[in-house]
Structure 1
């Protein structure tokens, strides 16, 4: 009796799987049909992208930079890649979790230009663990696992999207975003934006103004629009998990600097004390005939 029940349940599950796969296939066919019968207007798509890159809120998160091998790597962020795909049109993209077992998830990031039938995808495995200061933490909460997979998938998705969208369009978008940030950000004074940037670094990562100034080599009072772009790129790189705080800022700065200063002051006080003591204890000279 149990064997018959299991067979019936298996047949039911298989039937449901077939129906779901058939429905998904029909949806894909419909998307391809619409894409090929309503092709994108390249000039209009490019103009929409350029207009989107003139928005300061997008431009501030559009580019990342991080150090690698003694050099600086710069490129478009996942936020910009998503805007490019949305305005380029006829592109299906996303991250799907394929399987979950033994404390890890198997997922795939993909981007598919349905008009030209060009597709890129990257399959990857995500262990359900998180590195913390106290060591490796195993994740069991559904929300934590979902956010971890989404975060790891965002990097692969960005790569897939940039493999679909023409490179010259991407370069123009990055240039426009940098220009938008350099232009001053509307009516907000540069001084206020610098203050906001310093507060964001302090609140999010504990990075002080002194550490930022040591990184750039000069004070924030002399920051220009270009420096703001660089600082924003660093912030985005850390936020997106492409780099760590230690890759940019020396954590010992705020700890070592005061101790060295104290040592120098103490040394000066010792010298001063020795001089004063020598002046007091020095025997008086007499003229003896």
Structure 2
């Protein structure tokens, strides 16, 4: 039987495999991305920004009271106050400066972490700043770490980390003098439109009360009665409130424990409860109880005085021992707080017995506890 002869393919020397569908889709996406970039650059160069008009738009935006109040943040580090433009002001600057693309994209999420990219690109000048970083889905403390399982917690963690880096990217592609002028305009707007009416002052007191800060503490901060507050002091308090709301600081960074009113009495009760719990934990860890311990006078030899030790002196000694607390004990006390005011009072009582690094960990835990209490109250 005769065999069928195969005709040689005139288009090539061998049999070729069909193009992979996945490769075709990837190539299409790549070509689309290139076309979008080229189109954006062409449109930006065809419609260059008018810097005078852009600056006018920025100044007009900063004259809006709503933006001005959220435009600046302030936090305390190393005993000094640091102030800067918030993410809200950075977004307003990018929108009004024009021809800028910015955003946050989650590249991938696997193995319990997210790879995220924040970017800002001035399409007209082709200046680009981007940051790629990993966000583990865990929360770390000195006592260890625990994994975040709730998708909402993961989303908020990624968004919080991304917004800070996005702010840095945006501010890197906008001229510094434009940013400084916008900050000055926002401060001028807050001073000019600072509402000192009784209703507005009461609204501010109620806002700070959510973080456990009383009116007496506010008055101690501004060194005057609250009904005589000046516009510049309202601006300063709004920066502090913005910092507390954005979890940049805790009330203990700004306010001393108050005395003399009902809130202070409740705060004092919280302090005593925290100290008493720490005394019990300290006694439980000691090898001998305070009742069976050898008196210092007996160990040193005959005493030259038969005067008994007063109960108050024993209490002071217990207070000294309680001050040398561990970070784990302090964190337990914060976790046991039942209200934002209780958290604030416990932080004030515990900070003196901790190092600066441990104090930072305690403040972070206090912020988390206040957020949980406020969420549970809704």
Q: TM-score, normalised by structure 1?
A: 0.77
CA displacement at 1:166 relative to structure 2: 1.0
Distance in structure 2 (CA, Å) of the matches to 1:189 and 1:172: 26
CA separation of 1:211 and 1:22: change in aligned 2, threshold 3 A: farther
Report whether the alignment pairs 1:195 with 2:202: yes
Work out whether residues 196 and 231 of structure 2, in 8 Å CA contact, stay in contact via their aligned partners in 1: no
Structure number with the bigger relative contact order (C-alpha 8 A, sep ≥ 6) is 1
1:218 is aligned, of 224, 236, 261, to: 224
Distance in structure 1 (CA, Å) of the matches to 2:75 and 2:86: 12
Task: Find the counterpart in structure 2 of residue 206 from structure 1.
Answer: 212
Report whether the alignment pairs 1:122 with 2:131: yes
* Bigger mean CA deviation after superposition, 14-23 or 150-159: 14-23
Report whether the alignment pairs 1:75 with 2:91: no
Report whether the alignment pairs 1:102 with 2:111: yes
CA displacement at 1:150 relative to structure 2: 1.2
Task: Find the counterpart in structure 2 of residue 281 from structure 1.
Answer: none
Work out whether residues 196 and 229 of structure 2, in 8 Å CA contact, stay in contact via their aligned partners in 1: no
Distance in structure 2 (CA, Å) of the matches to 1:89 and 1:234: 31
Task: Find the counterpart in structure 1 of residue 342 from structure 2.
Answer: none
Report whether the alignment pairs 1:140 with 2:149: yes
Work out whether residues 72 and 183 of structure 2, in 8 Å CA contact, stay in contact via their aligned partners in 1: yes
Give ranges in structure 2 of 5+ residues lacking alignment: 1-16, 270-378
Work out whether residues 190 and 225 of structure 1, in 8 Å CA contact, stay in contact via their aligned partners in 2: no
Work out whether residues 104 and 125 of structure 1, in 8 Å CA contact, stay in contact via their aligned partners in 2: yes
Distance in structure 2 (CA, Å) of the matches to 1:104 and 1:250: 39
CA displacement at 1:136 relative to structure 2: 5.3
Distance in structure 2 (CA, Å) of the matches to 1:137 and 1:235: 29
* Bigger mean CA deviation after superposition, 146-155 or 42-51: 146-155
Residue-by-residue CA offset, 1:66-116 (whole Å, 9 max, x unaligned): 111111111111101100000000000011111212211111111111111
Work out whether residues 115 and 133 of structure 2, in 8 Å CA contact, stay in contact via their aligned partners in 1: yes
Distance in structure 1 (CA, Å) of the matches to 2:144 and 2:257: 19
CA separation of 1:167 and 1:200: change in aligned 2, threshold 3 A: same
Work out whether residues 208 and 214 of structure 2, in 8 Å CA contact, stay in contact via their aligned partners in 1: yes
Work out whether residues 54 and 180 of structure 1, in 8 Å CA contact, stay in contact via their aligned partners in 2: yes
Question: What's the Cα RMSD here?
Answer: 2.8
Equivalent pairs, count:
249
Work out whether residues 178 and 229 of structure 1, in 8 Å CA contact, stay in contact via their aligned partners in 2: yes
1:111 is aligned, of 117, 120, 126, to: 120
Task: Find the counterpart in structure 2 of residue 28 from structure 1.
Answer: 37
Residue-by-residue CA offset, 1:179-222 (whole Å, 9 max, x unaligned): 1111135xx5443322211111213x232223333333433223
